[in-house]
Amino acid sequence: MEKNKLKDSLKRLETIIKWFDEQEEIDVEAALELVKEGAGLIKESRERLKKLENKFEEVKKGLGQDMNGD
């Protein structure tokens, strides 16, 4: 489930970037809202990636113990 949330966040960030790229004139209020949303998505994504990294390390440690006969 984490993977899907991360994937969805990344897709939304791509959509936000595309919006900025397609604008000839930027609506400042709309841009500000999208920047706020993007910043929140980045923060959430970093937190998810950190959790996934921690889980990966736990699995890696478990494999190391199994291979050493512990």
Domain boundaries, the chain: 2-68
The answer to whether 12 touches 41, Cβ cutoff 8 Å, is yes
Confidence of residue 65 (pLDDT cuts 50, 70, 90): confident
SS3 39: helix
How far apart are alpha carbons 36 and 2 in whole angstroms? Answer: 22
Which contacts qualify for 11-20: CB closer than 8 Å, 24 or more apart? 12/37, 12/41, 13/38, 13/41, 13/42, 13/45, 16/41
pLDDT value at position 57?
Answer: 92
Say what the pTM is.
Answer: 0.75
pLDDT value at position 46?
Answer: 95
Q: What letter does residue 27 receive in the DSSP assignment?
A: -
pLDDT value at position 69?
Answer: 56
